[in-house]
Amino acid sequence: MELRQLQYFVKVARKQHVTQAAEELHVAQSAVSRQIHQLEEELGLQLFVQKGRNLQLTPVGKLFLGRVEELLTGLEKAVGEIKEFLDPELGEICLGFPHSLGISLVPSVVADFRRDHPNVKFRLKMGTFSSLIRDVIRGDVDMAFISPYPENNDQVVGEVVLTEELYAILPSSHVLADYSSIRLEQLKYDSFVLFSENYSLRTIVWEACRKAGFTPIIGFEGEETDTIRGLVAAGMGVSLLPEMALTQISPLMPVKVKVTEPHVTRTIGLIRKSGHKLPIVAEMFQQFLFDYFRLR
């Protein structure tokens, strides 16, 4: 069984068509058909069945595909690790982060790191609190920014790199828009624009309102910082957002007001898989991040 056979098999399985697979592989159709035929003979089973003009995997073909993809992924990772060992500057870093950090923080730290390491590549993946932890545990990302920092999860390790203040955001027409600071309870009769339930910022805002003695009235829900900010600016309600999410200027901007009671903050952590050694280039980036935040 040859590596080429497995690569051709995966390509045909994904395209469900020998001709299209051959075009992407830049080889003759006959070469692809021959390799698939030899693979089936060696295995002693049929991997594909013809259905119209397309090929479909047999049940055992589907099983084989999953195993082959795992094998090829592992091989690709091994080759990457060897190249990185020989020259970490040619490595790739897989970084996860929540949407609210993608506005300015992640672009800033990546740009700063690449000034001294211009050949390092980045693969970025945005996610929610739970999906970022899952991505780290499964190895889909080397490390992830996350908020709040998960204190009681023994499957990930890391540290808090930043504590950030949350501000009330109000429409410019709001009666409190000219105030320099407010108590959160002053917004208890307002409609709130909140993140959806799977976002950690929603939990932080909800808990802050509870401490202020009320349950927020939910008018709108969204999944992106820009949406929350825009809805508030358009007069659809009020909300709380971290300062970092308010740095970008857009046509629709709400008014930012400091909240004094309670003082609302969120922790931002950098996590990696517990007991897992990072690739060399990822270790370099992790240390860069720790130094970056300590200096700031």
Print the domain residue range for 174. Answer: 163-266
> 172 and 246: one domain?
yes
Q: How far is CA 296 from CA 95, 101, 149, 151, in A?
A: 21, 16, 19, 23
pLDDT at residue 189 greater than cutoff 70: yes
User: What is the share, in percent, of the chain residues with pLDDT greater than 90?
Assistant: 66
pLDDT of residue 85: 65
Residue ending a domain, among 66, 86, 106, is 86
Give me the DSSP letters along 93-126: EEEEE-GGGTTTHHHHHHHHHHHH-TT-EEEEEE
Q: Is 87 helix (H, G, I), strand (E, B) or coil?
A: coil
- pLDDT of res. 256: 95
- CATH label of the domain that carries residue 245: 3.40.190.290
Mean confidence (pLDDT) of the chain: 91
Question: Are residues 169 and 157 part of one domain?
Answer: no
117 near 128, Cβ under 8 Å? no
Lowest mean pLDDT among 209-213, 220-224, 268-272: 220-224
57 and 116 part of one domain: no
Cis peptide upstream of residue 148 (ω within 30 degrees of 0):
yes
- Tell whether 154 and 197 lie within a shared domain: no
Residues 119 and 245 both lie in one domain? no
**Domain end: 86, 106, 130, which one?**
86
147 burial class (0-12, 13-18, 19+ CB within 10 angstroms)? buried
Q: What is the number of domains present in the chain?
A: 3
| Structure tokens given for 25 | 């592989």
Exposure class string for 226-248: b at 16+ Cβ within 10 A, else e: eebbbbbbeebbbbbbbebbbee
* Alpha carbons 198 and 105: distance in angstroms, whole number: 22
* Cα distances (Å, whole numbers) of residue 109 to 28, 80, 131, 140: 45, 23, 22, 20
Mean pLDDT of 125-129: 93
Whether residues 183 and 197 share a domain: the answer is: yes
Same domain, 63 and 201: no
d(C-alpha 221, C-alpha 194), whole Å: 5
Distances 6 to 3, 67, 202 between C-alpha atoms, Å: 5, 10, 46
pLDDT at 122 > cutoff 70? yes
Question: In a 10 Å sphere around its CB, with 0-12 CB exposed, 13-18 middle and 19+ buried, how is residue 153 labelled?
Answer: middle
Determine the pLDDT at residue 251.
77
pLDDT band at 87 (very low <50, low <70, confident <90, very high): low
- Domain end call among 62, 86, 110: 86
Please report, for the domain that includes residue 99, its CATH number: 3.40.190.10
Q: Are residues 133 and 272 in the same domain?
A: yes
Q: Rounded to 5 degrees, what are φ and ψ at 39?
A: -65, -45
Within this chain, do residues 150 and 277 fall inside the same structural domain, yes or no? Answer: yes
User: Is 257 found in the same domain as 179?
Assistant: yes
pLDDT in tens, 134-161: 999 998 999 999 999 998 899 999 999 9
Question: Is residue 142 domain-shared with residue 190, that is, in the same domain?
Answer: no
Question: Is there a single domain that holds both residue 190 and residue 249?
Answer: yes
Q: CA triplet 42, 46, 49: central angle to 5 degrees? A: 145
CATH of the domain at 40: 1.10.10.10
